[in-house]
């Protein structure tokens, strides 16, 4: 009996030490569920994720989805081989390459024209697909409006994003990862227009003028009636929304023990060059632009290393 006392004392000391060590660790280190392998990809977003007009353009439709060239969901099949399409090496392709094709799913919830008000339905779809990995690239159409009166306030934007994030938090399987990318600085895209004009047999100004009659979106940046101050205002909203996205992601990652939340601002700080902008609408990323988005977001993202 006497010999048991030192052992009991030792065990008690060890237990106390362990408890103190655990308490000293940040909650996120020990409380997160194991991260799931991203086999079921679900992309939330807008026309950029749909790769509108990236490499193919139907002049009779004007908004042409080029899903094979999507930075998130892009793929390669017979037609992409035949036509020598750009291999964007999307997140979808990289996941298959890294983790294999078994049980792979590639869902695109993103829809051209969607904005933060559509986060709810799109994220509900991600939940219904039981996604392991959700990419979120939304907000371009919040700043790209027909009218400055339609750009949401910070409070509205935050409420929309928060509501969407809540759906993911409460609905995604434990261990899932949510990766949010900052809104592209659309002012930088607008700046490239004059350089693209004429070079590829298009007139960006003519295309952008159609914002006046509602054919083409994003009058708040592209309308020919805008002053420089108008465009700078739109840009300031762009930056404000990115700050909200970054803050919310940080908040959710700290508080949500079941999921992994990450944000990158690489997409918003990218300086696009003309070849990375659609030669058809002078605005959306081209296939090369999508390829760059894929590479940079993947490298900086949760599964890049």
Partner 1 sequence: MNAYAPSTERERREEKEEKKGVPARPRRHTRLLRGSSARSRPPIRRLLPAFAAFSLFAVALPTLAGDAGSGAGRGAARVPLATVNGRTIYVDEVEGALAFRIFQHELDIYSLLAAEAERRIEAEVLADAARERGLPVEALLAELEGGARGDSGSVSTVPPEEIDRYLAEHPPAPGTDPAAARERVAQYLSERGRLDRRIAGLAALREAAGARVLLAAPEPPRTDFEIGASPTRGPAAAPVEIVHFASLGSRAGARSAENLTRLFAEQPGEIRWTHVHLLGERDEAGLYAARLAVAANEAGQFWPFHDAVVVARLDPAVNFDAKRLDAIAAQVGLSARAIRDAAQGGARLAAVKADIDRANAAGIPREPGLFVNGLFVSGLLPYEELREIVRREARAASAEARRR
Positions in the binding site for partner 1 (CB under 8 A) = 55-60, 66, 68, 79, 82-85, 145-153, 156, 188, 191-192, 195-196, 198-202, 227-230, 232-233, 236, 271, 273-276, 279-280
The smaller minimum CB distance to partner 1, of residues 1 and 149, is found at: 149
Report the nearest approach of partner 1 to the CB of residue 269 (Å).
13
Report the nearest approach of partner 1 to the CB of residue 117 (Å).
11
Please tell me the distance from the alpha carbon of residue 51 to that of residue 108, in angstroms, as a whole number: 11
CB–CB of 16/28 below 8 Å? no
Report the nearest approach of partner 1 to the CB of residue 199 (Å).
6
The smaller minimum CB distance to partner 1, of residues 18 and 195, is found at: 195
3-state secondary structure of 113: coil
The smaller minimum CB distance to partner 1, of residues 186 and 249, is found at: 186
C-alpha R_g of the chain: 23
Report the nearest approach of partner 1 to the CB of residue 266 (Å).
17
Specify which residues 136 forms β-bridges with: 44, 180
Residue with tokens 């039981």: 130
- Token pair of 120 as six digits: 């709810």
The smaller minimum CB distance to partner 1, of residues 196 and 218, is found at: 196
Report the nearest approach of partner 1 to the CB of residue 93 (Å).
17
The smaller minimum CB distance to partner 1, of residues 39 and 85, is found at: 85
Report the nearest approach of partner 1 to the CB of residue 148 (Å).
4
The smaller minimum CB distance to partner 1, of residues 230 and 253, is found at: 230
- Token pair of 285 as six digits: 């990323």
First to last CA, the chain: 54
CB–CB of 61/73 below 8 Å? no
Report the nearest approach of partner 1 to the CB of residue 216 (Å).
15
3-state secondary structure of 121: helix
The smaller minimum CB distance to partner 1, of residues 68 and 179, is found at: 68
Report the nearest approach of partner 1 to the CB of residue 175 (Å).
36
Please tell me the distance from the alpha carbon of residue 160 to that of residue 152, in angstroms, as a whole number: 10
The smaller minimum CB distance to partner 1, of residues 208 and 261, is found at: 208
3-state secondary structure of 253: helix
DSSP state, residue 134: E
Nearest to residue 237, comparing CAs of 110, 112, 111, 149? 149
CA of 34: how far to CAs of 13, 104, 129, in Å? 29, 19, 20
- Token pair of 14 as six digits: 């060890």
């Amino acid at each position: 009996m006497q010999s048991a006392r030192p052992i009991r004392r030792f065990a008690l000391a060890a237990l106390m030490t362990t408890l103190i060590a655990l308490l000293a660790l940040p909650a996120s280190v020990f409380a997160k569920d194991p991260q799931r392998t991203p086999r079921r990809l679900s992309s939330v977003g807008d026309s950029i994720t749909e790769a509108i007009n990236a490499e193919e353009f139907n002049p009779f439709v004007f908004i042409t989805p080029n899903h094979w060239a999507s930075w998130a969901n892009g793929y390669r099949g017979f037609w992409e081989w035949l036509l020598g399409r750009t291999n964007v090496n999307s997140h979808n392709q990289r996941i298959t390459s890294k983790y294999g094709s078994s049980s792979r799913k590639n869902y695109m919830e993103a829809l051209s024209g969607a904005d933060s008000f559509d986060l709810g339905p799109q994220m509900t779809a991600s939940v219904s697909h039981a996604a392991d990995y959700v990419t979120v690239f939304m907000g371009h159409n919040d700043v790209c409006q027909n009218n400055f009166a339609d750009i949401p306030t910070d409070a509205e934007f935050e409420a929309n994003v928060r509501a969407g994030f809540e759906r993911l938090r409460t609905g995604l399987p434990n261990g899932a990862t949510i990766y949010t990318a900052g809104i592209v600085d659309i002012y930088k895209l607008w700046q490239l227009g004059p350089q693209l004009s004429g070079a590829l047999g298009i007139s960006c100004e003519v295309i952008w003028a159609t914002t006046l009659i509602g054919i083409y979106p994003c009058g708040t940046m592209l309308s020919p009636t805008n002053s420089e101050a108008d465009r700078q205002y739109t840009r300031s909203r762009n930056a404000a929304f990115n700050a909200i996205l970054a803050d919310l992601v940080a908040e959710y990652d700290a508080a949500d023990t079941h999921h992994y939340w990450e944000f990158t601002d690489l997409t918003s700080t990218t300086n696009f060059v003309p070849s990375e902008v659609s030669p058809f609408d002078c605005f959306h990323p081209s296939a090369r632009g999508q390829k760059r988005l894929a590479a940079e977001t993947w490298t900086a993202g949760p599964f890049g290393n």
